[in-house]
Amino acid sequence: MNGWPIVGWAALAVAAMVAVILGAVGVGVPGIQMALRATARTSAVFFALAFAASALRRQWRTAATAWLLRNRRQLGVSFAVSHFIHLLLVFALMGWSWAVLRARLPTEALVIGGLAYTFIALMTLTSFDVAIAWLGTRAWRWLHTLGSYYLWTIFALNYFTRAARSAFYWPFAVLFGGVMLLRWLPKMRAAATSEGARP
């Protein structure tokens, strides 16, 4: 499977997962909370795959990494779909009330989360050739680089903090630490080579 059908199948899979959870546990608070945790993890996986695609391809020239790089844009949009479903579940947990959401969440959480979703929306809207041509390559690269590092920071801090309290989150902490390491390996090697070449 290649191209935009990936997004459709990803959306269907995430929606089906949420439906199964709510059907099995119920549409009350426990069911919504379980669905929230599940969509957070699907979002994390889709994001990590898109974020690490080019680095994985540089490190390992395989058919799998070629597929990841070729479909990086679609994996990024799949992440957006998963995370907007996650947002809908957040509102469902709050009784679909902005006032309740505002009362229960501290201002800094709303600002940090709001900025994250702003980046997700902008990056999704500019994931199409027409939008890229309109925005320009330089601005597009700036937006997607800044946005992806901001989103990585939120995911990483969340999972690193949770991993300190529970071993259940260790795989996700390792995942996000690993994808950043992969992205920076070429820079680290280049710096080491440059340092070693100095007289």
CB 74, CB 3: distance < 8 Å: yes
Binned at pLDDT 50, 70 and 90, residue 191 comes out as: low
**Predicted TM-score of the model (pTM):** 0.92
Identify the domain containing residue 161 by its residue range. 5-182
Q: 42-73 pLDDT, tens per residue?
A: 999 999 999 999 999 998 999 999 999 999 99
Asked if residue 64 is part of any domain, the answer here is yes
In a domain, 159, yes or no: yes
Domain membership flag for residue 156: yes
Q: Could you tell me if 117 and 87 are in contact, meaning their C-beta atoms sit under 8 angstroms apart?
A: yes
91 falls within a domain: yes
pLDDT at 183: 87
pLDDT of residue 1: 85
66 located within any domain:
yes
In a domain, 197, yes or no: no
Closest CA to 188 of 52, 48, 55, 72: 55
| Inside any domain, residue 192 | no
Is residue 105 situated within a structural domain? Answer: yes
Domain count, the chain: 1
Query: How far is 142 from 194, CA to CA, in rounded Å?
Result: 26
